[in-house]
Structure 1
Amino acid sequence: METAGHFDLQTLWFVLIAVLWMGFFLLDGFDFGVGMLYPFVGRDDPERHALLATILPVWDSYEVWVIVAGGATFAAFPGWYASMFSGFYLVFFGILVALIVRGVAIEYRNKHDDLSWRRRWDVALPISSLAIPFLLGVVFAAITRGVPMDPRGDVTGGQGVLFTGYSVLAGFTLVAAFALHGTLFLAFRTEGGLEERVRRFSLAIYPVAAVLLIAFTVWTAVQASSSAPYTVPMYVLLGLSLPAAAASGPLIWLKRPLAAFAGTSAAVVLLVAALFARLYPRVMVSSSAGSPSLTIYSTASNHYSLVAMTIIAGVFVPVVLVYQIWALWVFRARLSREDFARPPTPLHMITKGRRPGGSSSGGAAAEGGE
């Protein structure tokens, strides 16, 4: 029989892993949106350079969340990690390749002045930025809805079992949500003609994202009513996510991009929280008769490992949070085409936004000059 302390640590680590995924989807979500849309929003190279510069200084720090989420899953729930990564290895390999291509595209696009060089990265970055949320949506929907598993907890049936109507809808919903999230981020990080164009893009994307989110939310609620162990928390979180997302549309129209961005941020966090609430205390749902689902109890590490990990997390998680807040504050300047019509000088990088009547921070243009 499990001790109360052991039970508490298992639940604690399930919640911490959920929080890590929420942080990743929230922060890297608007990065994915920027990557998907910047070649279409920007009409020429200086505009595209300015749009990409809004995420250049910080994008890689956001990927720490997914790396830590994977590492925490391996350390806290090795049985969950083994079943998920062995059963879905081709999909996770595709996500890994897309993450690599995306990172290289962000960092290498502006390293060369040749237009053909930049155009190649302008194709690679949107494709990889779209593929990652789509595949992650498929995986999350599949493990919450259920996949065929044998009595040992191994996924059976090949990679194709992941791609059902529900999981594909989840993938498209995440893509649309991140595209809207990204345009709203750009709306308060750009100025001039870019800001107005980004706003028009967000108004065009909003209805598509809303329809997909409503369809996915309703399907999730109906499906989970007969299978989720604890339905009330899931219904509450789903119920809160819809008005948070819905509020972003009127706020875009009223030219309140920061408030609209807060709405999509809340919607993303609440939706991910709802999926984890649907799972608990399971970590992977089995759709095979006679094969039990994997739970936090059956897949967890031993008590001493969880205690040691809890101490380490208590020290370093606040440090990561403080750093992320600091980075967002430092690189908060609003950018425009004029900032990149000519390569910024070192003095411009330092003083951007500090002169009277300028923007509020000097950091964001610095990285954009790469």
Structure 2
Amino acid sequence: MALTDIWFVLIAVLWTGYFVLEGFDFGVGMLLRVLSKDDTDRRVLINTIGPVWDGNEVWLLVAGGATFAAFPLWYASLFSGFYLALLVILVALIIRGVAFEFRGKIDSVRWRRNWDRAIMVGSTVPALLWGVAFGNIVHGVPLDAQHHFTGTFFILLNPYALLGGLATLTVFMLHGCVFLALKTTDTVRDHAIALAKPLGSAAILCAGGFLAWTAADHGGWAWLFAIAAAVALVLGVSYAIAGREGVAFVCTAVAIVATTVTLFAALYPNVLPSTTDIANSLTTTNASSTPYTLRIMTWVAVAFTPIVLVYQGWTYWVFRKRVTRASIPSGQR
């Protein structure tokens, strides 16, 4: 396997890790005021992701950095064509991060309510737009012979990409709902389990349609991974309704993994297809860095990736217990 192919796979792995981990973060944020009856419940929800949400975003930074270093033309075309959409995602993530930090700074109901809304919006916007972005990456965008994006922002709002956005939005919300059932107790857990059925129905409808469309367009391995994703999603909903949230969370995570693999399998060997002329498409070959750059990156990845994985795994192990209302100190906001 060529180094270009290896780095295509590694970037797929990074995006998969980001969607699985940040996916339940987004889900918790979107459900912040849906599954809580008072401020203590909302503090419980925030505390389930408090120790890990910022670490989960590291996967996004590494995926972006790896794309820039391994496939600079892909990175350049993405950021020129998707500039507005990516800027909106960035602003939403910044607002979300600030909201987590500022929410408890002032003992005011109105203050906390406004920051809660910021968390919900800052979680919903990226969850939707990441699906739209990857839908366009797989579907293709207009590129000229110099690989310059020649379309407009509204070209990105095509039916396939919008369905991809609804798929990620609903699946991440379901993933977060199951995570809350796994990490909480009492009424919050009960409400999360009850919400899993309607959320699961929406996720199966949107994600199933998106996966079927993707597999029908690209065939091959995409069908295998799409079917695996759909089966895992259905099982996740079934186990969640049955109150087996641990197995359900594994299933929703597998569904996200299989969905991301479906997209990258459908994309390969392209990294950004051109809808203007297939000859203008960016591929793993014509968009890559030099072999020397890829060799250096490979050694760096081999040396440091295990350290990062061990550290993040240790973090999840330390904070593995359920969060209860009793664990919220009196007066904490």
Equivalences, count: 333
Residue correspondence of structure 1 range 184-333 to structure 2 within 5 A: 184-225=178-219, 231=220, 233-289=221-277, 291-333=279-321
Q: For 1:102, which of 65, 86, 96 is the aligned residue? A: 96
Over aligned residues, Cα RMSD in angstroms?
A: 1.2
Q: 1:17 aligns with which of 11, 14, 18?
A: 11
Which of 120, 129, 132 matches 1:126? Answer: 120
| CA distances 1:316-363 after superposition (whole Å, capped 9, x unpaired) | 1111111111111111121122322614xxxxxxxxxxxxxxxxxxxx
Distance 1:23 1:175 in 2: 17
Measured in 2, the distance between the counterparts of 1:78 and 1:338 equals 50
Superposition pairs for residues 39-58 of structure 1, below 5 Å? 39-58=33-52
SS in 1 for 2:271: strand
**Conservation of the 8 A alpha-carbon contact between 2:28 and 2:45:** yes
**Which amino acid counterpart does residue 255 of structure 1 have in structure 2?**
G
CA distance in 2, matches of 1:57, 1:184: 18
- Pairing partner for 1:135 from 129, 133, 154: 129
- 1:101 positional shift: 0.6
1:147 is matched with which residue? 141
**CA pair 290-333 structure 1, distance change in 2 beyond 3 A:** closer
Partner residue in 1 for 2:66: 72
CA distance in 1, matches of 2:198, 2:88: 29
Cα contact 1:17–1:72 (8 A) shared by 2? yes
Structure 2 unpaired stretches of 5+ = none
Give % identity: 43
Decide whether the 8 Å contact of 2:196 with 2:241 is kept in 1: no
Instruction: Give the TM-score taking structure 1 as reference length.
Output: 0.88
Based on CA coordinates, which of the two structures has the bigger radius of gyration? Answer: 1
Q: Classify the secondary structure of the residue corresponding to 2:2.
A: helix
Query: 2:285 is aligned with what amino acid?
Result: Y
Give the 3-state SS of the residue equivalent to 1:54 in structure 2. helix
Secondary structure of 1:283 counterpart:
strand
Stretches of structure 1 that go unaligned for 5 or more consecutive residues are: 1-6, 226-230, 344-368
In 2, Cα distance between equivalents of 1:293 and 1:113: 54
CA deviations over 1:138-185 (Å, ceiling 9, x no partner) = 110101111111111111121111110010010011000000000100
Out of 146, 170, 180, the residue aligned to residue 174 of structure 2 is 180
Shift of 1:304: 0.8
Whether 2:54 is the aligned partner of 1:60: answer: yes
CA contact (8 A) 2:81 2:151 kept: no
Determine whether 1:36 maps to 2:30. yes
Deviation for aligned residue 1:115: 1.0
Contact 2:27–2:174 under 8 Å retained in 1: yes
